[in-house]
Structure 1
Amino acid sequence: MKSAVETLNPTRVRLTVEVPFEELKPSLDAAYKKINQQVTVPGFRKGKIPARVIDQRFGRGAVLEEAINDALPKFYTDAVNEGELNVLGQPDVDITEFNDGDELKFTAEVDIRPTLEIPDYTGIEVTVDAVEVSDEDVEKSLEQLRERFASTSPVERAAADGDVVVVDLEASVDGSVLEDGVAKGVSYTIGSGQLLDGIDEAVTGLEKGGSATFTSELKGGSAAGREASVKVDVTDVQERELPTLDDDFAQLASEFDTLEELRGDSRKRLERMKSYDQATQAQEKVLDALIELVEVPIPEKLLKDEIETRTHNLEHHQFPALGLDWDSYLEREGKTREEYDAEVEAQSVKGIKTQFILDELVNREKLSVNQEELTEHLMRRAATSGMTPDQFAQAVVEGGQVPMLVGEVARGKALAVVVEAAKVTDTNGEVVDLEDDEDETGETVEVSGDDAEAAATDGDAEQADAGDTSDKS
C-alpha cells in the first residue's frame, strides 16, 4: 500500500491511497465466507458453496463491494498512521479507481487537529473581585438561617404576603379539567414565587374556605406551556413565625453556644465561599487571556457538528423537560433565534479552542492522570449526574467514555498550571495566591484539576454538554 498526504488547509487534509489487488485477498476471502453463510444454493450445503458459483449466482461485483467495504477502514487507518496524522471525526472517502484484478485507489478527506504554537503564558495578568464580607452579608446569612427554622400557626384572618396557605388546585384547558391538573393539600408561602404565576394575587386577601380563579401558563405536565384556568381553594391560612435571633437560636440551629460564635462562623463560611468564587473567576479570566494568546484554526465540519449537537440537546432533551418550545424559550431568554445562533456558535468556537489549547499544553507539559485523580473526578461527575459512583462508573466503562474522563482531568491540570503561573490581583491591588490561600481555620483554597476543568468547559445553563471533541480515526 502507498499513501500520500495533501494539506488542503491548516485543519483538513486529503489522503491518496493505492492498494495492490493482492492486499485485498484477506477481505475477499472474508466476503466469500460471509456470503456463504447468508445464502442458499440447491445442491450445496450451507457454507460450502464454491466461489465460482457465488460469482455466477450473485455476481462478482457484490463480492468485490463487500470486500472493499471490509478493507477500507484498515487501509485508511494504515494511511493515517503512516502520515502521522491527528485526525478528527470521520473521513469523506471516494473510490477513484478500481477494476477486478487491478489496484484499488481511493481518497479520504478528513479534519485534523491543527498544529498550535503556545507562546509564553507566564506574563498573563488578571484582576478578580476581592474577598470582602460585610456585616450586611453576615446578617443576611443569619436571616436565611432563621427562615429555615420558622414555624407556622393557623390564623383566622385573610392571607397576606409571607403567610403559608394550604390550597387545592384544579387546572383546566379549553374548559376541560386536566387529568394531571389536580393537586390537593399543597402548602405555599405567598410571595415565594415557587408555584404558578398569578397565584400570589389570587390567594392574597382570601380567608380559610375562600376560592379564586386565575389564568397561568403551566410549567409542566401534559399541557406544559399552555395557558390554563386554575381554580384555587384555600383550606388553611398559617402565619409564619421566625425565631428570635439570640443565644438560644444559636444553640438550636448550630453547634455553637452563643449568637456571636454563630455570627463569626457565618463570616468565615462566607469568606470561604467568596474565596472559591474568586478562584473560579481567576480560572475563567486566565483561560480567556490564554485563548487570546493562541491562534487556533477551527475545523469547519467540527464546528458545524458541535453547534448541531448543542442545539439538538437543547431542543430534544431540555425543552421537553422544561415544557418549552423555541418560541417560549426565546421569549423567556429575551433573544431572537439569530441571537441564539450567534451565541451558540461563539460558545462552540470557545469550547473547541479551549480543548485544543489545553490538550497541547498536556502534551507540552507532559501531564499525566493517575488513578486517584481519575477516581476523584469520577466521584464528582457522579454526584452531579444523580447516579451513584458505581452506576456512573459502569455507564462510563460501557459507553467507552474512560478516555474522555481522562482527557477532562488532564485538561483541568493543564489550566491549573497556567493559572498558577499567572499574576492574579484583586480589586484592592492585593496579589492573590490561589495555590495556598489559607484561612484562619487552616483550610486551604487552591486551584484543583477539577475546578480548573470546570472553568475550562464552556458551560451555559441552557446548553447541554456538547460532548468530547477527542481525536477519532
Structure 2
Amino acid sequence: MKAELLKKEGNVVTLKITVDYDKFNGAVEKAYKKTRGRYSIPGFRKGKAPRKIIEMNYGEGIFYGDAIDALFPEVFVPAVEETGILPIGAPSIDVDEISKENGLVMSVEVEVRPEVKLGDYKGVEVTKDVPEVTDTMITEELDRMVEKNSRLVDVERNVEDGDIVNIDFKGFVDGEEFEGGNAEGYELTIGSHTFIDNFEEQLVGKALNEEVEVNVTFPEGYSREDLASKPAKFEVKINAIKVREMPELNDEFAADTTEFETLDELKADIRANLEEQANNMAENQLREELVNKIADAADFITPNAMVEDQLDRMMQDLNYQLMSQGLQMEMLLEITGKDLNGLKEERREDAEKLVRGTLVLDEIAKLENIEASEEDVDAEIAKMAEMYKMEAEEMKKALRPEDLEDIAGQLKVRKTIDFLVENATIA
C-alpha cells in the first residue's frame, strides 16, 4: 500500500491510496465467498456458482464494492499515519483505476483538523461585571420560600380571581368531543392564563359543584391547526375551590423552616448565597468572553465536520432535557413549527464558537505543556464520590476507561482556562 498527499484546500485534503493487485484480488475473493449466496445462476445451486461464472453474468466488478468497503479501513489507517494528517470527518472515496498493472488506485477526500495559528493569548483584556444583589432580590427569594411553605385550604364560596379550582371538563368543537380536550380533577389557578383567553374569567363568580358552560375561540395561531380559529364549548364542573394560605414571615417562620433562629439571620444567608451566585456567574461569563476573544483572534478555518458533531451533541442534550421534563422532541418541533434542521441552524453560531474554543484551548495547552495529572483525576473522582456518597476507590472502579479520559480532558480544559485567566488583564 502506498499513500500520497495530492492537495490540501482549507481543511480538506485529497490522498492518493494505491493497493497492489494481489491484496485487492484477495479482498474480492473474500467478498465473493461472503456474498455469493445472493446470486442465482442457472445450472448451479444457490451460493455454489464459481466466481468467474457470477462475474460473467453480472459483470466483472460485481464484487468490487463489497471488497473496497472491507479493505478501505485496513488501508486508510496506515495511509493517515504515512501522510501525517489528522482526519475529523468521514472520508469520501473515488476509484480511479483497477488493473493488474497498477492495482486499486483511489482518490480519498477527507476533512482534517486545522492548523491553528494563535494570536495573543496572554494579557487579553476582559471585564468581570458582578451584578449587585438588591433588597428586592432578597424579598423575592423570601416570597418563594413563603409560597413553598404555604398550604391549600378549601373554601365554601364562589370562585374569585387567584383561587385554585379543581375541575372536570370536556371540550367540544362542531358538536364533537376533540382529542386532548377533557380531564378530571384538574387544578387550575384562576388568572394564571394557563387556558385559552376568557376560559378562566368565565369561572369567576361560579359556585362549588356548579356545572358551567364555557365558550371560547381558539386563537388563529394555535399550535393545533385542526383547532385554530374555531369556536369551542367546554362543559365544566367545579369540584373544589381552594386558596393558598401563606405563613407569616417572621422569626418564627425562619426558625421553623430553616437552620436560623431569626429572620435577619435568614436574610443575611440569602444575601450571601445570592452574592456567591452572582460572583460565579460573572466568573463564568469572564472565562467565556476570554476564550471567545482568543478564538476570534486565531487564524484558521472552522472545520465543518466538528461543527456538525457539536450540533448533534447539542440536539442530544436538548432531547435529554425535554425527556427530563416529560416532553419529547416531536412536541417541541410541533409547538415551534420548526424541523430538526431549523433547530440546528439556530444553534450553529454557538456550535462554531464552541468548536473554535476547543481547538484554541487544545493548541494553548500543547504550547504551555498543560496536562491533567493522575493526581488531578483522582482528586476530581474524590469530589464526585463525595457528591454521590461513595468511596473514591469504589467510584473509580465504576468508571470506564473512556470516562477517565473524559474527566482528564475536562480537567485539562479547565486548567488551560485557569492559565489564561491568570495571564489576562481583568477590568
Q: Give the structure-1-normalised TM-score.
A: 0.69
Counterpart residue number, 1:190: 190
Counterpart residue number, 2:273: 269
Q: Is the 8 A contact 1:36 1:49 kept in 2?
A: yes
Counterpart residue number, 2:360: 357
The alpha-carbon distance between structure 1 residues 323 and 115, as it changes in their structure 2 partners (threshold 3 A), is closer
2 CA distance for matches of 1:48 and 1:369? Answer: 59
2 CA distance for matches of 1:257 and 1:102? Answer: 88
For 1:99-114, what aligned pairs fall within 5 Å after superposition? 99-100=99-100, 102-114=102-114
Shift of residue 58 of structure 1? 6.2
Determine helix, strand or coil for the equivalent of 2:91.
strand
CA offset digits 1:224-264 (Å, max 9, x no partner): 99447344433222232211111221122212222222222
For 1:423-434, what aligned pairs fall within 5 Å after superposition? 423-425=425-427
Shift of residue 96 of structure 1? 0.9
1 CA distance for matches of 2:183 and 2:134? Answer: 43
2:282 matches 1:278: yes
Shift of residue 50 of structure 1? 6.2
Shift of residue 173 of structure 1? 4.2
2:252 matches 1:248: yes
1 CA distance for matches of 2:156 and 2:123? Answer: 68
2:71 matches 1:67: no
2 CA distance for matches of 1:350 and 1:286? Answer: 12
CA offset digits 1:345-390 (Å, max 9, x no partner): 42343233223223333433442475547868999xx9xxxxxxx9
2 CA distance for matches of 1:420 and 1:9? Answer: 37
2 CA distance for matches of 1:152 and 1:66? Answer: 69
Counterpart residue number, 1:141: 141
Match of 2:349 among 343, 346, 350: 346
2 CA distance for matches of 1:155 and 1:266? Answer: 34
Shift of residue 182 of structure 1? 1.9
CA offset digits 1:383-428 (Å, max 9, x no partner): xxxxxxx9xx99x99xx89867765554444334323433334xxx
Supply the AA of the counterpart residue of 1:188: L
Match of 2:416 among 414, 417, 424: 414
Shift of residue 192 of structure 1? 3.8
Gaps of 5+ in 2: 323-327, 389-394
For 1:325-404, what aligned pairs fall within 5 Å after superposition? 327=337, 343-364=346-367, 365-368=369-372, 372=378
The alpha-carbon distance between structure 1 residues 404 and 213, as it changes in their structure 2 partners (threshold 3 A), is farther
The alpha-carbon distance between structure 1 residues 132 and 377, as it changes in their structure 2 partners (threshold 3 A), is same
2 CA distance for matches of 1:61 and 1:252? Answer: 83
Supply the AA of the counterpart residue of 1:352: V
Alignment length, in residue pairs?
401
1 CA distance for matches of 2:220 and 2:423? Answer: 51
Counterpart residue number, 1:324: 334
Supply the AA of the counterpart residue of 1:347: D
Structure (1 or 2) with the larger CA radius of gyration: 2
For 1:46-85, what aligned pairs fall within 5 Å after superposition? 60-85=60-85
Determine helix, strand or coil for the equivalent of 1:5.
strand
Counterpart residue number, 2:293: 289
2 CA distance for matches of 1:225 and 1:291? Answer: 48
Counterpart residue number, 1:436: none
Q: Is the 8 A contact 1:225 1:323 kept in 2?
A: no
Give me the identity figure in percent.
Answer: 26
2 CA distance for matches of 1:307 and 1:271? Answer: 34
Q: Give the structure-2-normalised TM-score.
A: 0.76
